[in-house]
Amino acid sequence: MAQVASHLIPVEAAVTLDGLFRERVMRTPDLAAYRAYNEPHANWRDYTWGQINHQVARWQAALERDGLKAGDRVAVMLRNSPEWVIYDQAALGLGLVVVPLYTQDRPENVAYILNDAGCKVLLIEGAEQWQQLAEVKDHLGGLARMLTVKPVPGSGEPRLMSLDQWLPEQGGETRHVPRDPRALATIVYTSGTTGRPKGVMLSHHNILSNAAASCSVLVAGHDDVFLSFLPLSHAFERTCGYYLTIMTGSTTAYSRGIPHLAEDLQAIRPTLLISVPRIYERVYGAIRAKLDEGPPLRKKLFQLAVETGYARFERAQGRGPWKPSFLLWPVLNALVAKKILARLGGRVRAAISGGAALPPEVSRVFLGLGLTVLQGFGMTESSPVACANRPDDNLPASVGTAVPDVQVRIGENNALMIKGPNVMLGYWNNPEATKAILGADGWLNSGDTARIDGQGHVFITGRLKEIIVLSNGEKVPPVDIETAIVRDRLFEQVMLLGEGKPYLSVMAVVNGEHWKTLCAEAGLDPGAPATMRSQEIEDIVLRRIGLQLREFPGYAQVRRATLTAEAWTLENGMLTPTMKLKRAKVMERFNKEIDNMYAGH
């Protein structure tokens, strides 16, 4: 382990994020840095640190030619790829501030972020993204340049240019503008309790220190291969799946996307996985589906393997006794565990989960099969990792203990408070929001309630403000979205759902008169029970909801809706005396309908 750790680039040697990259290029220029799928040749291609550095110099020459200066903001809206890294490193080396965007975000929200941050350059993929942004191009007056990886012929937009046109043949030496490590490196927009996202300002040192602290959770080295599929616009992937891998000299392979994930796992055979719970839930769901189709004996064997394996895990952690069933493990491992873990490529030695709570059942299964699953806790405002479990101190019910140099404590109303070099500079152009979450003493209020045991393990117990956390880690403010939806007079009352789920859904009480009008327009019987459950009505309702949510960021997409004619009242126990919705009661009353909206997911 000490030998692997010697490959680490210390924060003091790196100083800044581009300095980290420079150090890696100097130390291991010929090692594989990135692996990406080459579509024209239908194969995987490796890029060395030296090759990436050569490209960074070309991109820097083009950015300088466009007149960009230190402190200017530049945005990136790409899927994970070497180009994302090259653009980021080129910008950071020139002292520019990088603003990442989600590729699936709504055009209106993209325009808001670009204008709020004052971005001068935007890098996108190609024609598909341009068609969406073309709707809001008149609102993007601050953008001087729009770059595309793939050419977009006949756009009629003078600012639009493909990389082939924009990049010079050579770039000379890579530039590293002398920087203050505490200067602004990036603005990451995150959803809060209001409709508009807030720009989290992170310095070079915020992220560098957090990447270094994360290295203590799990040591990685040159022989490790990370499979990257969580978007780089997500702070978790950016710190732990990008800057950390530069620090450790590991190879990062870019998945072609969730539809190809199973194939990519087999082709890449990663040693380390970093993801939000949704990915582990998908793999677990596929295992369960296959077991349900097979003979009962196979399911019993699987259950025995998980129970035995989990008992072995508990014993290894010093929390459980030796059991005679352990003698069966070599057989159970060969017949069950190894075959299932082979679906992950067969080489994964650890899987890190963050962004949202990992369901205990899912965690138990993977740990029982012999995979080291480590759950942690963080937020964009803390760069993002605050706590994490370790291989030798893994308590799955908790989110682990604080990472090095980070302090956690319980504040007012049992709020989990965070302090350390990873805590953000503040929110961009939003001093009021900064003051509300970040104290003058440097303590950051996470917004989550927690308890801390005698060994320092943190247990998340709830939230101070009502926020829905989807299984991909996205945080959604339900009240703001519900308020927007009921602007449509078809809806009398609305409840947004999605906690721990892959997407948002809605339970809604309809207005009687507007319901009759809707049915008359659709040629349906408003009194027939089947009408409210029909696919045609749901499609109409989702379209109407979508219209009300146009000003919200991309996370506010409602995928399913269930209607009811019965109002939620104080009398039927659905409202409090102050007329607030009793969410737990509504969920209990419509349990079956809610389950149906997530059936198969």
DSSP string, 87-102: HHHHHHHTT-EEEE--
- What's the CA gap between 157 and 151, in Å, rounded? 13
* CB-count exposure of residue 144 (10 Å: 0-12, 13-18, 19+): middle
In CATH terms, the fold of domain 17-178 is: Rossmann fold (3.40.50)
Name the least confident of 121-125, 260-264, 432-436, 482-486.
Answer: 482-486
pLDDT band at 555, cuts 50/70/90? confident
Two tokens, residue 87: 């653009």
Q: What is the pLDDT of residue 579?
A: 60
Mean pLDDT of 114-136: 95
Task: Note the pLDDT tens digit of each residue in 278-297.
Answer: 788 878 888 888 898 889 99
pLDDT band at 358, cuts 50/70/90? confident
Residue 321 phi, psi (nearest 5) = -85, 165
Q: What is the pLDDT of residue 109?
A: 87
- Looking at this protein, which amino acid is placed at residue 135? E
Mean pLDDT of 184-196: 76
Task: Note the pLDDT tens digit of each residue in 290-319.
Answer: 898 889 999 999 999 999 999 999 999 999
Residue 337 phi, psi (nearest 5) = -60, -50
Name the least confident of 242-246, 327-331, 581-585.
Answer: 581-585
Average pLDDT, the chain: 92
Mean pLDDT of 7-34: 97
User: Which of the two residues, 192 and 335, has the higher pLDDT score?
Assistant: 335
Mean pLDDT of 432-446: 96
User: What superfamily does domain 477-597 belong to in CATH?
Assistant: ANL, C-terminal domain (3.30.300.30)
Name the least confident of 60-74, 192-206, 226-240.
Answer: 192-206
Positions of CATH 3.40.50.980 in the chain? 17-178
Residue 2 has pLDDT above 70, yes or no: no
Sheet holding 350-353, edge to edge: 43-48, 32-38, 251-254, 225-228, 272-275, 350-353, 373-378, 385-388, 401-402
User: Which of the two residues, 155 and 88, has the higher pLDDT score?
Assistant: 88
- What's the CA gap between 388 and 377, in Å, rounded? 6
Q: What is the pLDDT of residue 6?
A: 67
User: Which of the two residues, 470 and 36, has the higher pLDDT score?
Assistant: 36
Q: What is the pLDDT of residue 154?
A: 86
Task: Note the pLDDT tens digit of each residue in 462-501.
Answer: 777 777 888 888 888 787 788 889 889 899 899 999 988 9
Residues 468 and 499: beta-carbon distance below 8 Å: yes
Residue 509 has pLDDT above 70, yes or no: yes
Q: What is the pLDDT of residue 79?
A: 95
Q: What is the pLDDT of residue 5?
A: 59
Determine how many CB atoms are found less than 10 A away from the CB of residue 504: 25
pLDDT band at 4, cuts 50/70/90? very low
Residue 256 has pLDDT above 50, yes or no: yes
Q: What is the pLDDT of residue 45?
A: 97
Mean pLDDT of 257-262: 88
**CB neighbours of 375 closer than 8 A, spacing ≥ 6?**
353, 354, 357, 358, 363, 388, 389, 396, 398, 399, 400
Residue 195 has pLDDT above 70, yes or no: no
Q: What is the pLDDT of residue 577?
A: 53
Q: What is the pLDDT of residue 82?
A: 98
Residues 89 and 18: beta-carbon distance below 8 Å: yes
Residue 544 has pLDDT above 50, yes or no: yes
Task: Note the pLDDT tens digit of each residue in 324-356.
Answer: 999 999 999 999 999 999 999 999 999 999 877
Residue 144 has pLDDT above 80, yes or no: yes
Q: What is the pLDDT of residue 181?
A: 97
Positions of CATH 3.30.300.30 in the chain? 477-597
**CB neighbours of 330 closer than 8 A, spacing ≥ 6?**
none
- pTM, entire model: 0.84
Q: What is the pLDDT of residue 552?
A: 85
Residue 168 has pLDDT above 80, yes or no: yes
